[in-house]
């Protein structure tokens, strides 16, 4: 409840949350919001400009750009969100087990994490796509196989700190089962950290998927996806730059809202961050003395 109260006091956080909610709702109910079939080809409307029937115009095949933009939310945002959920769930489970039980369990899990994190994420994703083939499913599978190790390591650090609390030590001494301690005492403490880590990774995963689709390794035609729309419009980027504007702005808006929301979560969990930032801004606005002279 306190977290929600702190978030509601931040206007930027409320705006970011509203934007994210609207995007998710539009993607989930794409047939309701989209005015046309996103894959309907009409060569008579090839490169047609904006009109009342096609608010954002038409692409090189006469397809409705607005409809494709709305349907593109599903792979670009909802698909990434599903992969993120699986990665966080697996990473959180292994991080909880490693941080709480420690010993050999911790050593084995962390060594596996070290192996997974020793390879660059983009290189491993390309390797998985090269083995399994291009497509949205393989990109999301690569995300799930690679991202969990990073989540597990960060969550383990939070669990190690939480497990040293006196009330958790007392629960252990009194014979409370470990599963009960984890669910009732440890998980509520580290859940906020899990939310921050997940939200900070959400934006980067959206960018990665769009980048792979732009390179032709992700979503394949004729399916709508923001990176794929950028790829289709790059041949006419100088003659008709507006075709790249809609998907580009959609990516920027979504990633910015997610990043602002992640920052707001961190500030809401640690209110001293907002005080520190405000103090820093106040100090930065004061005049600075340099060699006996006052410089504004």
Residues 279-293: pLDDT tens digits?
A: 444 454 445 444 444
The predicted pLDDT at position 290 comes to 44
Residue 8 has pLDDT above 90, yes or no: no
- Exposure of 187 in the CB half-sphere (CA atoms within 13 A): 12
Name residues whose C-beta falls within 8 Å of residue 78's C-beta, 6 or more positions apart in sequence. 24, 27, 28
Residue 158: pLDDT band by 50, 70, 90 thresholds? Answer: confident
The predicted pLDDT at position 74 comes to 93
Residue 294: pLDDT band by 50, 70, 90 thresholds? Answer: very low
Q: In this structure, what token pair is assigned to residue 193?
A: 């950290």
Residue 295 has pLDDT above 50, yes or no: no
Q: In this structure, what token pair is assigned to residue 32?
A: 């309701």
CB 105 within 8 A of CB 76: no
CB 182 within 8 A of CB 100: yes
Q: In this structure, what token pair is assigned to residue 189?
A: 């403490």
Residue 85: pLDDT band by 50, 70, 90 thresholds? Answer: very high
Residue 256 has pLDDT above 90, yes or no: yes
Mean pLDDT of 184-202: 84
Mean pLDDT of 110-115: 90
Name residues whose C-beta falls within 8 Å of residue 145's C-beta, 6 or more positions apart in sequence. 128
CB 83 within 8 A of CB 140: yes
The predicted pLDDT at position 242 comes to 81
Residue 227 has pLDDT above 70, yes or no: yes
Residue 58, beta-bridge partner list: 64
Return d(Cα 277, Cα 271) in angstroms, integer: 10
The predicted pLDDT at position 63 comes to 92
CB 230 within 8 A of CB 237: no
**Would you give the distance in Å from CA 151 to the centre of its chain?**
13
Query: How would you label 104-140 residue by residue, b for 16+ Cβ within 10 Å and e otherwise?
Result: eebeebbeebeebeeeebeebbeebbeeeebebebbb
Residue 243 has pLDDT above 50, yes or no: yes
The predicted pLDDT at position 284 comes to 45
The predicted pLDDT at position 3 comes to 64
Residue 131: pLDDT band by 50, 70, 90 thresholds? Answer: confident
Name the nearest CA neighbour of 132 among 217, 211, 225.
217
**What is each CA distance from 31 to 27, 35, 119, 204, in whole angstroms?**
9, 8, 40, 27
Residue 51 has pLDDT above 70, yes or no: yes
Give me the sign of the Cα torsion angle 157, 161, 162, 164.
positive
Per the model's pLDDT, the better-predicted residue between 124 and 6 turns out to be 124
The predicted pLDDT at position 189 comes to 82
Per the model's pLDDT, the better-predicted residue between 13 and 67 turns out to be 67
Residue 69 has pLDDT above 90, yes or no: yes
Residue with tokens 């969100």: 81
Q: What is the chain's mean pLDDT, rounded?
A: 84
The predicted pLDDT at position 296 comes to 39
Q: In this structure, what token pair is assigned to residue 57?
A: 């115009």
Q: Of 64-68, 132-136, 269-273, give the lowest mean pLDDT range.
A: 269-273
Return d(Cα 131, Cα 142) in angstroms, integer: 11
The predicted pLDDT at position 21 comes to 93
């Amino acid at each position: 409840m306190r977290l929600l109260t702190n978030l509601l006091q931040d206007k930027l956080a409320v705006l970011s949350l509203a934007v994210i909610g609207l995007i998710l709702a539009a993607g989930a109910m794409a047939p309701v919001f989209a005015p046309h079939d996103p894959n309907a080809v009409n060569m008579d409307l090839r490169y047609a400009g904006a009109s009342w029937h096609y608010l954002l115009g038409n692409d090189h095949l006469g397809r409705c750009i607005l409809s494709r933009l709305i349907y593109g939310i599903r792979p670009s945002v909802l698909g990434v969100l599903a992969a993120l959920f699986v990665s966080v769930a697996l990473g959180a489970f292994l991080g909880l087990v490693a941080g709480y039980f420690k010993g050999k369990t911790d050593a084995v899990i962390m060594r596996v994490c070290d192996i997974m994190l020793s390879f660059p994420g983009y290189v491993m994703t390309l390797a998985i796509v090269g083995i399994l083939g291009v497509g949205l499913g393989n990109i999301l599978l690569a995300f799930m196989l690679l991202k969990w190790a990073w989540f597990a390591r960060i969550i383990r650090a939070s669990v190690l700190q939480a497990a040293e609390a006196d009330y958790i030590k007392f629960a252990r001494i009194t014979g409370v089962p470990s599963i009960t301690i984890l669910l009732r005492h440890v998980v509520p403490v580290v859940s906020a950290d899990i939310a921050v880590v997940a939200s900070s990774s959400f934006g980067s995963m959206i960018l990665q998927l769009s980048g792979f689709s732009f390179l032709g390794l992700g979503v394949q035609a004729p399916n709508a996806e923001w990176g794929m729309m950028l790829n289709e419009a790059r041949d006419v980027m100088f003659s008709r730059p507006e075709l790249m504007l809609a998907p580009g702005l959609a990516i920027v808006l979504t990633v910015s809202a997610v990043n602002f929301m992640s920052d707001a979560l961190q500030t809401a969990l640690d209110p001293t961050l907002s005080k520190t930032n405000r103090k820093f801004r106040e100090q930065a606005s004061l005049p600075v003395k340099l060699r006996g002279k006052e410089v504004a």
